[in-house]
Amino acid sequence: MTLSIVLLLRTIINTLCMTKETSARSTILIVEDDTHLVKALEHKFTIEGFDVVIARDGAEGLSKAEEERPDLILLDLIMPVMDGVTMLKKLRINHWGRSVPVIVLSNLSEGKDVEEADKQEVYDYLVKSNWTLEDVVAKVRERLSKG
């Protein structure tokens, strides 16, 4: 085998091993209405070894959360049909919903919605203009490693 094939195979094997160990096929629910952001997040988390479920608004997000029972939810606040704060409040009504970690991804950095989300005990609040995809993956891994 040529050196390049060996290196490629080694990279693939290392990636597969790392993915299994660090994510154990954790499921991430992404609740976001921005199509481009959804595609970017879905692609990034998929290549990082996560199972990804998508919802385009809070109502669909709540339904999929109850149906799929994801390991973590990435949640936008401003969406059609049902906003993220309303979804979060409804999610937190039952025992499972209170325990699932939520990371908010929003354009908002302050205001009533931010305060309301904070009251619902979100794990973290990331302002969209202040992070990269790698930052989000790192934050998700950090939270999931805590069990």
A 10 A CB-CB count for 53 gives 18
A 10 A CB-CB count for 137 gives 19
Q: What is the pLDDT of residue 82?
A: 92
pLDDT one-digit tens code per residue, 51-61: 999 999 999 99
Q: What is the pLDDT of residue 96?
A: 87
Over 60: is that where the pLDDT of 73 sits?
A: yes
Over 50: is that where the pLDDT of 45 sits?
A: yes
Query: Distance between CA atoms of 10 and 34, rounded to whole angstroms?
Result: 36
Beta strands 27-31; 72-75: pairing state: parallel
pTM of the predicted model as reported, rounded to 2 decimal places: 0.79
Report the CATH number of the 23-145 domain: 3.40.50.2300
Q: What is the pLDDT of residue 20?
A: 43
Domain range summary for the chain, segments of one domain joined by +: 23-145
Q: What is the pLDDT of residue 108?
A: 60
